[in-house]
Structure 1
Amino acid sequence: MSDPSTTPDRVLVTGGSGFLGAHCVLALLNAGYRVRTTIRTPARAADVRSQLAAGGLDDPGDRLEFAIAHLTSDEGWAEAVAGCRFVLHVASPFPSTQPKDPDELIRPARDGALRVLRAARDAGVERVVLTSSFAAIGYGHAPTDRAFTEEDWTELDSGRPVSPYVQSKTIAERAAWDFVAEHGARPDGAPLELATVNPVGILGPVLGPDVSTSVELIRLVKEGRLPRLPDVRFGIVDVRDVAELHLLAMTRPEAAGQRFLAIAGDVMSAQEVALLIRGHLGEAAGRRIGTKLMPMWMLKAAAPFSRRVRGSLSDLGSVRRATSAKAQTVLGWSPRTREEAVIATVDTLPTYRSHRS
């Protein structure tokens, strides 16, 4: 039997207790890989195992390992990447409300990505797949009807409002590409390969309490806590398809050095989402779901009292379209529909409540 510490098919997933991280761990284990995932404390191991069970995998056996590491500390990363062939760097801060100081998000996102890349390079990892975001592509631009592609970058110096989260994802991804270009030589002289996955709003089956801000929106709509809806439109992609795209970007030779947008079809409005959920739940359960738009005067009146409302004002009425043609053409990726992603979220939400407020 080979030494498991040198098994070439071991993959490190950072942030395995999170919404996307848990789905990536599940997809890798189902595909036959050994997986090591980082968690913040040993107690979080039970959360990961619980989510895997919710996803239909009761006992991964010795193919699942855990490592303690934090985005804000160098400690633990060398041990986390040891013996891994690939790394999926999924962990990144994504709060439900934006902080006053952008550095609260920028520092852990950028410095954490660099810590992972540095450790991966030193350990001889073959390729890192970084979970970036559409946030690093489609913001800070003048209004446009065209669909954004992987050639686009968010413009942080355009003078248009850009949230701390958008700043963090843009700065972290640019820092990652700069690192592999300038410092990416592994001990054997071969270059550390990098690919990024840039999803829009991620929905889909909820396996545990750590969910995306996009899922929080669906929960608020389903529970009737948004009697009036903001006039916003956003892209949607299923978390299972984002996990699959990570695996394709990890293994396909043509993915090295590439970015891949992940979106299912066109954008949806909050009103369209609410109507879809209402129709799915039926008349009795759906009666509490609001489907009318909130007038602008009401949003502006609420803005001084809510950081979340203030952060959304710049997005009202705007449309940012994107295309996943590259991922579909280059990697053969075929996502579920946006409607499937919404319904899967709705159907798996009742068991769980997010710890976020």
Structure 2
Amino acid sequence: MSKRILVTGVSGFIAKHVALQLLQKGYDVCGTLRALNKADQIKKSLSDAGGDISRLSFAAADLTKDDGWEEAARGCVGVMHVASPFPVAQPSNRNALIPAARGGVLRVLKAADKSARIVITSSMVAMMYRPNRPETFTVEEADWTDTSWKSLSAYIVSKTEAEKAAWQTAVDGGYKHRITTVNPGLVFGPALDDDIGASLDVIRLLMTGAYPAVPPVSYPVVDVRDVAQIHVNALENPETSGRRLIAASETLSLSDIAEILRQAFPDRAGKIPSRVLPAWLVRLLAVVDRNIATVLADLGSVPQADSDYVRALTGVNFRPARDAVIDAARSLERIKSI
């Protein structure tokens, strides 16, 4: 029987780790790319990390276009839809990213074989935002972000609407039992190459002196290797069908992350911020800086992840958040991104 798995957006930080663990377990992997000129670099990165690239192939497919998806998914017994649009700068229109995110997931669902298992990378941001929430609160599997809240960024809105569209399409089509979503928190851990993604860019900016101070925000943190393990288990384990798997355990503030980096990299401590901006100043700066405005919904909140059920379902033993932060930074040093 074929063990071919489609991994969308295989050049991404999480997707490469998913592909690596699939290859290490003997699966054949077809990774989608918008353009195939990244294929050789991905082969090298996965080979250097211990993946059997003789089992790796590529297909050209763009989330915003219909072409290529049916061919890419043909013969695949599983689909890992990891790709999602993330802008370099946040658009002023909070709905701007919805068409690409929702359209992408619907194209993948349409292309998937009628018997294929489908694992979709969503995010905890699709779960944890609602007005008037308490300062400290627990994020649970049934929670959904209220996208009517005006403080939300375009990325948060797009991830929420894309996941909702996936579940509704699966319910309407009668195949909810074949779908699992993985909802990670802030993903750290080692980069396999210099395509580091948005989450590791936070570490890079903290370590290079780009931030003179940090806002008072906190996020559930997870190691990318644990996220990849949960994806693979969701593919193999029928008990995860129809479930939303929260991938995170500990919560860290940006100030906590900066302190971890200062202790682990004392030679860089002078560049790593030690001050926390007051919330009122963040709100003021957000008026003139759209990227700062993306954290407004997080000011002063401390979300906790309810992920005990994910441990029980998948067997994942979440790595300490501190180790995920340090391993991310060490990998950035190795690839000379800092």
TM-score (norm 2): 0.94
Amino acid at match of 1:82: R
- Tell me if structure 1 keeps the 8 A contact 2:47–2:53: no
SS in structure 2 opposite 1:218?
A: helix
Equivalent residue in structure 2 for 1:172, among 128, 137, 162: 162
Identify unmatched segments of 5+ residues in structure 1: 1-6, 186-190
**Cα offset, 1:297, TM superposition:** 5.0
Amino acid at match of 1:71: L
- Tell me if structure 2 keeps the 8 A contact 1:141–1:154: no
Matched, 1:32 2:26: yes
Alpha-carbon distance in structure 1 between the residues aligned to 2:319 and 2:12 = 21
- Tell me if structure 1 keeps the 8 A contact 2:94–2:152: no
Q: Which runs of 4+ in 1 moved over 6 A?
A: none
Match of 2:300 in 1: 317
Equivalent residue in structure 2 for 1:286, among 269, 288, 303: 269
**Cα offset, 1:192, TM superposition:** 6.5
How do 1:231-246 and structure 2 match up within 5 A? 231-246=216-231
**Cα offset, 1:288, TM superposition:** 2.3
Matched, 1:274 2:267: no
Equivalent residue in structure 2 for 1:132, among 115, 122, 126: 122
**Cα offset, 1:184, TM superposition:** 4.1
Give the direction of change, closer, same or farther, for the CA distance of 1:316–1:106 in structure 2 (3 Å limit): same
Matched, 1:10 2:4: yes
Match of 1:60 in 2: 53
Equivalent residue in structure 1 for 2:197, among 203, 212, 218: 212
Amino acid at match of 2:34: R
Alpha-carbon distance in structure 2 between the residues aligned to 1:107 and 1:353 = 32
- Tell me if structure 1 keeps the 8 A contact 2:29–2:57: yes
Alpha-carbon distance in structure 2 between the residues aligned to 1:329 and 1:221 = 35
Task: State percent identity of aligned pairs.
Answer: 39
How do 1:99-138 and structure 2 match up within 5 A? 99-120=91-112, 123-138=113-128
Match of 1:156 in 2: 147
**Cα offset, 1:301, TM superposition:** 4.3
- Tell me if structure 2 keeps the 8 A contact 1:87–1:125: no
- Tell me if structure 1 keeps the 8 A contact 2:119–2:235: yes
Q: Which segment is superposed worse, 28-37 or 291-300? A: 291-300
- Tell me if structure 1 keeps the 8 A contact 2:137–2:302: no
- Tell me if structure 1 keeps the 8 A contact 2:249–2:305: no
Identify unmatched segments of 5+ residues in structure 2: none
SS in structure 2 opposite 1:320?
A: strand
TM-score (norm 1): 0.89
Amino acid at match of 1:152: D
User: Over aligned residue pairs, what C-alpha RMSD do you find?
Assistant: 1.8
Matched, 1:328 2:311: yes
Equivalent residue in structure 1 for 2:39, among 33, 37, 45: 45
Matched, 1:183 2:177: no
Amino acid at match of 1:45: A
**Cα offset, 1:316, TM superposition:** 1.6
**Cα offset, 1:103, TM superposition:** 3.7
SS in structure 2 opposite 1:146?
A: strand
Alpha-carbon distance in structure 1 between the residues aligned to 2:278 and 2:264 = 26
Matched, 1:302 2:285: yes
**Cα offset, 1:252, TM superposition:** 0.3
Count how many residue pairs are aligned between Structure 1 and Structure 2. 336
Match of 1:222 in 2: 207
- Tell me if structure 1 keeps the 8 A contact 2:152–2:294: no
SS in structure 1 opposite 2:119?
A: strand
Alpha-carbon distance in structure 2 between the residues aligned to 1:296 and 1:135 = 21
**Cα offset, 1:280, TM superposition:** 0.4
Task: Describe the superposition over 1:61-102 as per-residue Cα deviations: whole angstroms up to 9, x where unpaired.
Answer: 1x1110000111111011100110000000001224321223
Task: Describe the superposition over 1:261-295 as per-residue Cα deviations: whole angstroms up to 9, x where unpaired.
Answer: 00032x1111111111010012x332322211123
**Cα offset, 1:299, TM superposition:** 2.9
Alpha-carbon distance in structure 1 between the residues aligned to 2:181 and 2:116 = 14
SS in structure 2 opposite 1:260?
A: strand
Q: Which segment is superposed worse, 291-300 or 225-234? A: 291-300
Give the direction of change, closer, same or farther, for the CA distance of 1:50–1:105 in structure 2 (3 Å limit): farther
Match of 1:345 in 2: 328
How do 1:239-254 and structure 2 match up within 5 A? 239-254=224-239
Alpha-carbon distance in structure 1 between the residues aligned to 2:115 and 2:34 = 22
**Cα offset, 1:160, TM superposition:** 5.0
